[in-house]
Amino acid sequence: MCGIIGIVGQGPVNQSLYDGLTVLQHRGQDAAGIVTYHDGRLYLRKGNGLVRDVFRARHMQELVGNIGIGHVRYPTAGSSSSAEAQPFYVNSPFGITLGHNGNLINTEALKRELFLQDRRHINTESDSEVLLNIFAQELLHQQPLHLEPEHVFNAVGAVHRRCRGAYGVVAMINGHGIVAFRDPYGIRPVVYGMRETAAGLEYMVASESVALDALGFKLIRDLAPGEAIYIDLSGHLHTRQCAEAPQYSPCIFEYVYFARPDSIIDDVFVHKARMRMGDYLGRKIMREWPDHDIDVVIPIPETSRTSALELAMRLGVKYREGFIKNRYIARTFIMPGQTERKKSVRQKLNPIGLEFQGKNVLLVDDSIVRGTTSREIVMMARDAGARRVYFASASPPVRYPNVYGIDMPAAHELIAHGRTEQEVCEAICADRLIYQDLPDLVRAVQKGNPKLARFDTAVFDGDYVTGVSPDYLAALEQRRAEGKIAVRVPRQAHIDLHNTV
């Protein structure tokens, strides 16, 4: 999962891009990058690490210009090489930089096409570089003497025809403007907004509305599936539907876990969706376990708090904060490698003993993916003196790999894959396990926007909206296994190319 941002401003945008990326930091902690345009040149800075680590004062001073894009990344195949930090750059046509959130599922076929038909070289294992070269080649096919919006939109339409998978994209065309587009299923989110300044209107695109809020931009709307937006250097905004048969199927896991609760995605308030998840889960407990003996509901920080509070209210039992989080430890879900993930759980969370001693505790989390964190937390609750430890998940069992940009591609790593709910309960050492029902999860999100008739729920039911072959899943699992070697290699130095692009 990654975060993208782009701004066409009336003054320097370097600080706004930086601030926007810090707001989107939850979407990726592995690498960050910013590229700006000024007077015919691109200025790029990217590297491994958090936004605050990649950009120092000297780097910010060199990122000159009133237009730019940015990206935060985490790897989906185990690789943390700084060579794959984004935005990527290609010099023809015009000079294009691009940042991508999502994952293509026909990358290998596209690589062959680019080499055999287009004579383009791909230098990394990133599908984002492939997507950039596809877009660049299709723009080149337009053979524009003077770039017009229709050329950009025609190129995006060709990308939709060639690329399969999930993609929220922001790109900057040297000397012309910024283009952003969303895959024909709308799996990954893209929003745009505007703000008025004394010098004129400024426009911004981003993965989540919260980035716009933080910078004082007014949210206009989400891009529709398959839609593209093009903002030229003069600040003129153009939009067009570029897909032939778009279908709204956003990733439901954005609402469960990834998006910040203060974001609005496809007209759904994430915070309220999570409230409804907790309410529906509470209703299920009352229906299936009316004589429960739960003394207290305790959330597992951070994303489950909203659901846990509503669940406690539905049950009529106490809600308490039982874990203190060390905010300086990276997310275990994002952290590459199972050993690092397991080790960090007890470093990240510390129980408040008095909230557990002698009580029957219901722990609430947004999901159970690998089960490593869940098991460790259950054991922490027992060590803190809990009499019984129950566990509730605000989402259904995660049984299938994700192929659209979330780091859960290997089925055998998912604790619920091939196991019954009771077997998962025993595996995480809980006394009872309650999962959200998939229809209730869909209702919890859909209630915010009834026009969303379908979601990508593949991690729960194996129904991939783009269609995925077993051979692709096997190849992805192998790639992940090979990528694990890379995470043990020391991180490379930051890439600083602001004078070489």
β partners of residue 34 = 45, 70
For residues 19, 184, 81, 263, the Cα torsion angle rounded to the nearest 10 degrees is 30
Quote the tokens at residue 481.
């296994």
Catalytic residue of the set 2, 163, 242, 251: 2
**Number of neighbouring beta carbons within 10 Å of residue 218:** 11
Contacting residues for 441 by C-beta, under 8 A, at least 6 apart: 252, 256, 277, 280, 394, 395, 396, 457, 460
Whether 88 contacts 126, CB under 8 Å: yes
**Ligand-binding site membership of 293 (annotated):** no
CB half-sphere exposure, 290, CA atoms < 13 A = 1
Q: Which residues contact 299 (CB under 8 A, 6 or more apart)?
A: 305, 307, 308, 309, 319, 321, 322, 323, 363, 364, 365
Q: What is the DSSP letter of 477?
A: H
How many residues does the structure list for the chain?
A: 501
Can 2 be counted among the known catalytic residues?
yes
Q: How far, in Å, CA of 197 to CA of 384, rounded? A: 54
Non-local (6+) Cβ contacts of 474 within 8 A are none
Does the annotation list 437 as a binding residue?
no
Q: Which of 493, 351, 367 is nearest to 428 (CA)?
A: 367
Residue 206 to residue 3: CA distance in whole angstroms: 7
295 is in an annotated binding site: no
Binding site feature residues for Mg(2+): 303, 365-366
Instruction: Please identify every residue annotated as catalytic.
Output: 2
